[in-house]
Structure 1
Amino acid sequence: MKTKWNRPELLAASAFMATGFGALWIARDYPVGTVTRMGPGFVPIAISVLLILSAAVVAMQSRSLPASATRPRLKPFVFIIGGILAWALLVDRVGFVPSTVILVLACASVEIGSTWRASLLLAGGLCAAGYAIFIRGLGIPLSPFGG
């Protein structure tokens, strides 16, 4: 029996592999350091290699998976990419908290069965965790509300 490639899975694996190789290319000149004294290139290179290996596994498995009968939906793609872009463009202007709320609400709006209450609770939790980890814990210079 001849097996077909599951094209959507193969396309996704190719996109992740291209992203991994792109990140590896960007980090190629960063000093890696050692495991005990990591340089600035250690984590990006390690994550890039893991992404490439994971994509290779998904690509190999896409040969044994049945082809998906559903058509890809454009609305989730647009809203999620739009939410990420909105966060990146707004975080310096309106602050970490409002831009994160916008990101979560944009992404949650395309989730089937999602409620406003659950989305707002998720946004609040992510804002609190992000504030504690990134702004307080790591000292990243982001303003919580406006800058």
Structure 2
Amino acid sequence: MSITVQKTIPAERMRQFHQMVDRWLQEGPIKLATNATITAMDNAEIPKEEQAAIIEDRDIIMKHNMRLGLVSEVFAPAIEKAVKSSRSGSEAQDEIARLIVTAVGIRQDDESELVTFNFATQSEADVFDASI
């Protein structure tokens, strides 16, 4: 059985996040890496359509990983407090990581994001809910 707790990342924070992601994908080291990847694919004679799909997939993966960083930034202190109230060591670290990676976010009409966490115990869910 899992206990679901939903929390919201405010719209302003989500707008900042999306601006940061867009900037990272269009500038600096990621842009250089993209150019190097495209050159390597050209040299390997990978068709342009396939190259576009590869870059698009890479961007989706990068956005997902950056989103995990945002979920961690916003919720990790409360998740850690909740999990460490009943677990320790590697068991606690594994559960913290599981909660962050499996959090489901749904963008709302106001650009906020409703994030759902599934806790293993009611006591951990209660500590988390009270910590935010």
TM over 0.5: no
Larger Rg: 1
**Structure 1 length as normaliser, TM-score?**
0.27
Larger RCO, structures 1/2 (Cα 8 Å, 6+ apart): 2
**Structure 2 length as normaliser, TM-score?**
0.29
